[in-house]
Structure formats: structure tokens, C-alpha cells
Chain A
Amino acid sequence: MKELIRKFTQTAGPSGYESAVRNVIREELKSYASNIQVDTLGNLIVRVGEKNRNGLSILVAAHMDEIGVIVSHVEKNGLVRFSNIGTVFPRFLPGSRVVFLNGTRGVVNNEKPEDITKIPKFEKFFIDVGAASDKDCPVKIGDLAVFEGEFADYGLNIVSKALDNRAACALLIETIKQIKTTPHELIFVFSTQEEVGSRGALTAAFGIEADLGFALDVTPASHILGTKMQCDLGKGPAIKVRDVNFISDPGVVNWMIDGAKKIRVPYQLEILDVGSTDARSIQMTRSGIASGALSIPCRYVHSPSEMINMNDYQNMIALMVRLLTNPVSLG
């Protein structure tokens, strides 16, 4: 189970350039699903089961892209200036390492700051790939890189870059493996470009026209860090109530809570002051879809060392299987 997460997180796939991740996921899925498609925006769409009399068509989206950087300019001295793909926090940049899609590696650092007590602005940073000049620099404008962040097994907790959202991609595959029969038509979307505005999920949901949809993602478990959000590792999957761009359908929230209670797994309710998920795109498709989101609590989101708890992960798989194999009541 951890091996799958390791494999997924260590594959590079910044927004818009998800093909390597898509291939790894497709390879993994081959023996469990036959109906696999890729749409125009690169979403990997897997259909399982058929809708029977008590069934719905249910869309579940887990984005497979990750944050990264893109070269905007190479200085004469060979230093590489860059822009962000998705939300990259300057505070995690100094000393971090990147690897370009062409294999070039580099370290991130910044110009000498005027005030060392303040985090420099984004434009003060550069990537050093060891080039002596722009002429012999192995990367050029438009090349993309992701952050390096090795997978580490701490026992109950695991650490890696890109647990946002490869942990959810792996979790979705474990769920698919465990679903034997279902009254529903299940449409699983491994979506693209979530980190830059949930674009893959937007078009996928429009094409699919589901009765019900939800996103699988990670959510900041920052309870220990002095914030006023009550979410932490080890306290169960988080059922989203709302975030910056999205308000869950109350029926979907209750359906998820009931599911967790039925199989006696712990759960947390999630309110998020920063960020959003694919759920926002699913909800406003066409004339609207009842929507929600389930999240894996995750510390240090969008840093090269994100952390999740394996109990939460296991409990969320159990909850997913329960939700997707039983009749749905959104009353």
C-alpha cells in the first residue's frame, strides 16, 4: 500500500504535464478495470459498474497534477529564473531542490536579502543547475520542474512531496480494487490541472453528467500549528463542509457522515479558509450537481515534505468502499 504511494509521489507531473503520472496510474489500473479513457484535457476516466434501479451515476475525482515551477528566463550567468505552477509558497523555497522533466536537477536559492528576518519575494529566487552561462544551461524558457521530496516511511505516518494529491490517486485505486459489486455507475476521474484552477475536473464533469459528484484530495491538518482549523492527523478522513470556493451539499455531507458512523470509522468535519478542490468545478457543471469532498488530512501541504497518517488512509478507503457500494440517500 505504501509502495503504491511511493511510486505515485515520486513520478513527476506538474499541472498540464501529467502524462507520466497518467501512465503509471493506467498501468496500475489495467488488471482491475476495462473501461479506461483519456479525454481532451488529459483526464484519465475509468468506469466501473452499471446503474441499477437503486443506483446513481457517481463521479469521483482525484487530481493527479502537482505544483511545480516553469522557467521564465535564463540569466547570462546561467542562473534560472522561474514562475510558479500552482500555489508555491516562497517560505518553502530556500534550499529546496527541483528536477526538470528533462532530468536536469537544480537547487533553489535567493538573492542576498535586505532584511534576513523576512521571507524574500518570489521574484528574488532562482534555480542553480550548475551552468556557467546561459549558453550551456541545460534548460530553457518554458521547461517545467517539480520539487524533489523523497518518500520516507515513519511507520504510522509517511512523508513525501506530492502526497497532494497522489495519496488520493493511490487511495482511489485501492478503493477500485476492493469494489466487487455496486448498484451505481461509478466514474472515476484522475483529473488534470487542479492546482491551477480545477480545469480538468470542469470539462470532465461537463462530459460525464453525473447525478452526484465528489472530489478526493488532501486538506491541511494544521491543528498543531496554532490555526483555528480543527483538523489533525490520525483523527480520520475529513468530510468537507466548505472551503473558499465551495459549499458542500448538506445531503452529501450527511451521507458521508452516516457512512462513517455505519462502519465505525472516525471522521472530521472540514472548513477550509485557504484553497479549494475539484469539487468546486464538479458542482457548477451544467445546471448543477449535488457535490462534496473527502480529504486525507495532510500536514505541510505544498511543501516538499508533506505528511499523512496511514490510519486515516485506511479508514478513508473503508469509507469510500462503503459509500460507493451501497444505495445513496441524500435526504
Chain B
Amino acid sequence: MTALTAAAPTLEVRNLQTHFFTRAGVVKAVDDVSFSVGRGKVLGLVGESGSGKTVTGFSILGLVDEPGRIVGGSILFHGQDLAKQSEEQMRQLRGNRIAMIFQDPMMTLNPVLRIDTQMIETVQAHTKVSKEEARQRARDTLGMVGIPSPDERLKSYPHQFSGGMRQRVAIAIALLHRPELIVADEPTTALDVTIQAQILAEVQKLCAETGTAMIWITHDLSVVAGLADDIAVMYAGKVVEKGEVAPVLDMPLHPYTAGLIGSVPSRNKRGEPLKQIPGMTPNVMRLPPGCAFRTRCAYATEVCKQEVPFGEVAPGREVRCFHPLFPAKQGEAA
């Protein structure tokens, strides 16, 4: 492999726009989202509920339901634009080269079908193998994600598993075809902390071993800090800040990112009330013109009512803000 192809990202999303055309108006759930993720890398896609993270994930897999539609931008998977593929071409990619893990493990497995049925059908949807071979592969993958006695467990129904085990099954299903890209939509949110830590460690190991690129959608910055290489922060359908994890978390440039980091409970400020971002996420149906965050932002000025460009303000640091929080500037202001 040449240096050039090694450097080419597995997935590159450019100016993606996914809108929902409802009777009450157009909901711009995803409005100008760009990011890329390379082989073996993990991108943390962070934001509050309703910021468009999940819709971004569904857009990549071509699973946006009516009345939603991708109206602009491109989703380049190895250079091939997924937004322009036919439904059948997308079907062949889904679960095969691009897989998804969902948020709630109690809901993602079909309650009336056995685990083996649900795994074997996934294998057979993409490769012509006998049922027996498919079963072998299902069993091996279950073992790989840490499910004890996979042979017996294959014959179980979802309700016979705990939440953590079900999520492992879902992850195993996602891994059946060794995908090049996994979109994980808050996969550990519904699990308790110890299980969360186990699953994070295993996922990280699998990604590193297989070179799978991963988009980890979450609202939990502590998960991103430990897992991701890059981070993209979303607010009201737009990416507001993007960069490598360590610099973004150490020195956030967008006031929203700073607010998110400030509101993470920490151990060394005992006794103080937790900080929070004032106000609420705006109604995506009636976004204020200009920066959607300005109504909650302490740094907002008149200029923020204009359309904010997304651009590099420092090497490797892209921000959508007229007033990025450079430490120097913060010093000046004080």
C-alpha cells in the first residue's frame, strides 16, 4: 500500500445536509456537517440530544426514514459517494462494509427470533455460504466479543440475555463481515459503568486490530476522551468545532465546547455546584439566523447574527465561531 492510499480517509463527509420535510415545516436536522475518519481511527461525534448526531449516522448508512432526505453534500466512502448510491448498492454495503451499532440493546434485537437466526441471516445477506458455515462464523464472532459458551447462546432468544450481553451480540452482528467502518450510536449509554468500560476496551482493541474506522456518537465527553482520536462537536445540526481530541478538550475554542467540558462533573471541585450551559437547545424548526448558539453564549455580539463560516483558526483546529476562545484573547479581555 502506498503512502497516499494509506492516508486517504475511509469516510469523508462533506457539507452533509439532511432535512425532514414535515407538515409543520422543514427541520434541518443535519445542516452542513463535515468530518473524516481514517483507517483504524475513532471519531467522537459529540452533542446534546437533538443536535443531529444520530441523523448523521443514519445518513451515512442511507437509513434516513421519510419524510427525511439528504438534500446536500456528499458522503465519500473510499471516494464513492454514498448519497448517490441506489438502494440495492447501499444494501450491499450495509452490514457488510459499513455496520451500525444502536443505542438501546434492549430494542435492537428482534424479540421473536433466535440469536442464530438473526446472525446467520446477516452472514447470508452478503456472502453465499451454507447455513452451517454461517453458524460457525456467528459462533466465532460471539466468542470474539466475549460471550461465554457461544454455541449454546446461539440458540437463545434476546430476552434471555442481559443488556450488556445483548449489546455484545449487537456488536458481534456488526463485526460479522469485518466492516471497514462502524457507526456506533451511543452504544454504551444504556449500560452500567463497568460493562461500559469493558465494551469500550474491547471495541478499541478490535478497531486497532482490524483497522476498522469508527464513528462513536455520544454525549459523554469522558468516553470520547478515552476512546477517540478526533472529535467533532455538533450543535443544532452543525459541526461547531473539530480537531484532535487532546487539544480540543484541553483548550476548547468554541464557547459551546467549553460549556460542555465545564459541565462535566469533576472530582477536584468538591462542594461547588455543577456548571451548566444557560438556556435550552433551540427548536430546530425555528433556528435564529446566524450562530444558533448565540442566545446562550456569553461572548455573543451583533456580528453573531450573520452566517458563521466554518474554518481553520489554528493549525488542525476548525471552529464555527466569530469569537474563538484563544487563551491569549481571554487574557486580553481580562
Q: Do A and B bind each other?
A: no
Q: B residues engaging A (CB < 8 A)?
A: none
